[in-house]
Amino acid sequence: MLGQEIVLIVLLILVVLVVLRSIRIIPQQQIAIVERLGKYHRSLSAGINLIFPFIDRVARRLDLKTQQVSIPTQEVITKDNVKIRIDTVFFYTVIDPKQATYNIFDFVQGIQNITASNIRQVVGHMELDETLSGRDRISFELRQSLDEVTETWGVRIDRVEVVDIHPPIEIQASMEKQMKAEREKRANILQAEGERQAAILRAEGEKQSIILRAEADKEANIRQAEGLQQALILEANGQAESLRLIANGEKQRIQMLVEAGLDERVLAFQSFDALKQMAQGTASTIFVPTDAVGVLGSLGAIAKVFQTASTQTFDTSES
């Protein structure tokens, strides 16, 4: 009985081992290469897979996700004999696990070697300035050269990037000086342009100011002239109105004298009285019109009449 139990336990252990060796669990985005008796049999996809134990074996597991690999720093000589160091990185994806397993021993190492050799070839035809500004060109040519080789390896090159380019220290120092000089040049140009714009704006402002002042002076002169014109018109109208009123007053006075029945002798006497008042003034010379001479003659006649009248009155009083 004890021997049978031991045999059953051994058989049970063998069954468990067989089952465990028969079951293969493959994670997502991975694939396994199965060989049967040393020859490729099939590829196991993600999930639970069954194989024949002791006959089949998993030769290799491959990751189907995009992988990133950095290439060691490469020293390259440019077309103008400048030694530079370039850091690159490439991204790849396994698209055919069978080819990636059996067509090359280590496709990652192969990609690194091809990249290193092609970097020297590509950069060797470029000058330093072209290399520093032509990263896209370097990446494109590297990817083309890698695609031609990795197509048979079951690997797709998704992207090649030039991470950094390290020129010699003395070249970096001269480039920094050149960049500094260029920045100072641009700064001076911008400053000169700013001063030029400021001068133009100041000139435009002064021009506009002069124009506005001239227009203001013109408007002031026009308004002043219009004011003087209005003042002269008003003054002339006032004088004309004054003369008209004086003339009307004189006309009315003469009419009143005529209506009162005053004869020429009374008028002549009034004219003589007016001349007497004029003689009392400060003027040393008096111009008498020709008409006034006749008036004075009439005054003489009037004086004789008065003298005759007074004599007769005196004689009458004596008698």
DSSP letter for each residue of 95-149: S-HHHHHHS-S-HHHHHHHHHHHHHHHHHTTS-HHHHHH-HHHHHHHHHHHHHHH
State the pLDDT at residue 182: 83
**What does the pLDDT read at residue 187?**
87
Give the angle 290-296-300 at the CA atoms, nearest 5°: 150
Residue 109 has pLDDT above 70, yes or no: yes
Average pLDDT over residues 87-93: 91
pLDDT surpasses 90 at 184: no
Which residue, 123, 114, 118, 146, is CA-closest to 76?
123
Are 40 and 102 in contact, with CB atoms under 8 Å apart? Answer: yes
Instruction: Give the C-alpha separation, 31 to 291, whole Å.
Output: 151
CA distance 236 to 142: 105
Looking at residue 314, its pLDDT comes to 40
The domain 67-167: what is its CATH number?
Answer: 3.30.479.30
- The radius of gyration computed from the CA coordinates of the chain, to the nearest angstrom, equals 67
pLDDT at position 309: 44
Per mean pLDDT, which range of 85-94, 98-107, 189-198, 248-257 is the poorest? 248-257
CB 274 within 8 A of CB 288: no
| Contact yes or no for 51/24 (Cβ under 8 A) | yes
Residue 300, CA distances (Å) to 173, 259, 289, 296, 307 in order: 132, 26, 17, 6, 11
Q: How many CB atoms are located within 10 Å of the residue 104 CB?
A: 18
Span 12-39, average pLDDT: 86
Least confident span in 63-67, 71-75, 78-82, 315-319: 315-319
**Pairwise pLDDT comparison (231 vs 290), residue with the higher score:** 231
The pLDDT value given to residue 297: 53
What pLDDT score was predicted for residue 317? Answer: 42
* 296 Cα distance to chain centroid: 99
**154 or 297: which carries more pLDDT confidence?**
154
Strand order in the sheet with 39-44: 39-44, 30-36, 56-63
Instruction: Name the residue type at position 216.
Output: A
CB 86 within 8 A of CB 165: yes
- Residue 127 near residue 158 (C-beta atoms within 8 A): no
Please state the rounded mean pLDDT for residues 116-131: 86
Q: What share of the chain is helix, strand, coil (3-state, %, to 5)?
A: 65, 20, 15
CB atoms near residue 51 (< 10 Å): 19
Q: Does residue 67 or residue 5 have the better pLDDT? A: 67
Taking the C-alpha atoms of residue 306 and residue 276, their distance in angstroms, rounded to an integer, is 19
How is residue 64 written in tokens? 């189907």
- Mean of pLDDT values over 102-118: 88
Identity of the amino acid at 273: D
Calculate mean pLDDT across residues 193-210.
Answer: 89
Instruction: Say if residue 254's pLDDT is above 80.
Output: no
Q: How confident is the model at residue 118 (pLDDT cuts 50, 70, 90)?
A: confident
Q: How confident is the model at residue 128 (pLDDT cuts 50, 70, 90)?
A: confident
User: What tokens does 172 get?
Assistant: 């970096």
Say which range, 129-133, 157-161, 310-314, has the weakest mean pLDDT: 310-314
- Dump the DSSP string for 67-80: EEEEEEEEEEE-TT
d(CA 171, CA 80): 12
Q: Please check the confidence at residue 319 and state whether its pLDDT lies above 50.
A: no
Q: Where are the domains of the chain?
A: 1-63, 67-167, 171-224
When comparing pLDDT for 259 and 29, which is higher? 29
Q: Is the pTM of this model over 0.85?
A: no
Record the tokens describing residue 292, joined without a space.
């006034």
